[in-house]
Structure formats: structure tokens, C-alpha cells
Amino acid sequence: MNIIARYLLPEDVCLDIQVGDKHALFEAIGRHMQREHGLSQHQIAHCLLRREQAASTAVGEGVAIPHARIEGLGPIRAAYMRLETPIPFGAPDRRPVSDVLVLLVPYPAADEHLQLLAAATRLFSDGHFRTRLHASRDPVEAARLFVEWPEPPAEAAPARDRM
């Protein structure tokens, strides 16, 4: 099982969502986290936007991994959002983003946060994984792909080097 699958629940997979920009995406993520987990929509959107303002979380090949440390968060939360229409995200390859893996970790979960970011980057650097994910027709199928996909080796090159 991939480490991401430990935290990504089928109800946290949202396919073909419609947003026009990063701000609208972060608001949609906040609404989702409030509806599914009782988290503060405003806090989630604010923390993701604040982190994004520091530097883009886009890694290339249409993928972004917005993440934030959230004060008072219980367990780590992950969500996968597939956008119906790609949006600009400041990616190193300048391509718009359609695959968004959100990682929310309690403050100050530094080590696990970094491990999750590294695993997510390795996972999304795999073109075959991205192709299979795009072919997923429903949230359960997409979530199952995260579960069944083998953990990429830690020595794999970062996404920006392999994409």
C-alpha cells in the first residue's frame, strides 16, 4: 500500500470539480473538509493560500500538491481533486494543473509531513500512475488506485527532474 493511501479516504476523492483559479480551489477544498470532517472551511482555505503564497506547490506535468500544517488538526487528512478544466498554478514547466493532492497535517508534524510530500512527489512522477488516475471513472476506483499502487522507491528522482 502506498503511504498516501493510509490517509486518502474514498470520500476525499473528488473528480471533475469546476474551479476557475487557485483561490476558488482552496475554498472548494475548505468546503469539502468542513462537510466531510467538520474542519473549519476558512482555516483550511486560509492556510493553503498562505502556504501557496510562499511558493507554488505545483510540481509539473499538471500536478500540484498543496499542503499546510493546521493548528489543532487531529489526524492527517488527504484529498485528491481532479479538476474538470486545468488552472494556472505557477508550475516549473508552466503547464496548468488538473491533478491536485491535498495534504493537511497537524502542527508541528514536520517529519511525517516531509515523508508524505516526498511520497506524493514520487507517486505523481509516475506517468503510468497519472494515466490510470485520469482514466478512473469514480472516486472509489481512484482511491483504490492509490491503495494498490506500489510505494515508489525512496531514491526515485524528484518529480521535477523526471517529468
| Residue 67 falls in the annotated catalytic set | yes
Question: pTM for this structure?
Answer: 0.90
C-alpha cell recorded at residue 138: 469514480
How far the first Cα of the chain sits from its last, in Å, is 23
Could you tell me the CATH number of the domain that includes residue 118? 3.40.930.10
Based on the structure, what is the number of domains in the chain? 1
CA-closest candidate to residue 4, choices 123, 132, 99, 111:
123
Distance CA 143, CA 8 (A): 7
Buried b (16+ CB within 10 A) or exposed e, 20-47: eebeebbbbbbebbbeebebebebbbeb
Distance CA 92, CA 113 (A): 22
80-118 confidence digits (pLDDT tens): 999 999 999 999 999 999 999 999 999 877 788 888 999
In degrees to the nearest 10, what's the CA dihedral of 9, 12, 16, 18?
-170
The one catalytic residue among 32, 37, 42, 67? 67
**pLDDT tens by residue, the chain, 163 residues:** 778 999 999 999 999 999 999 999 999 999 999 999 999 999 999 999 999 999 999 999 999 999 999 988 999 999 999 999 999 999 999 999 999 999 999 987 778 888 899 999 999 999 999 999 999 999 999 999 999 988 766 654 444 433 4
| Domain residue limits at 29 | 3-162
Output phi, psi for 145, to 5 deg: -60, -40
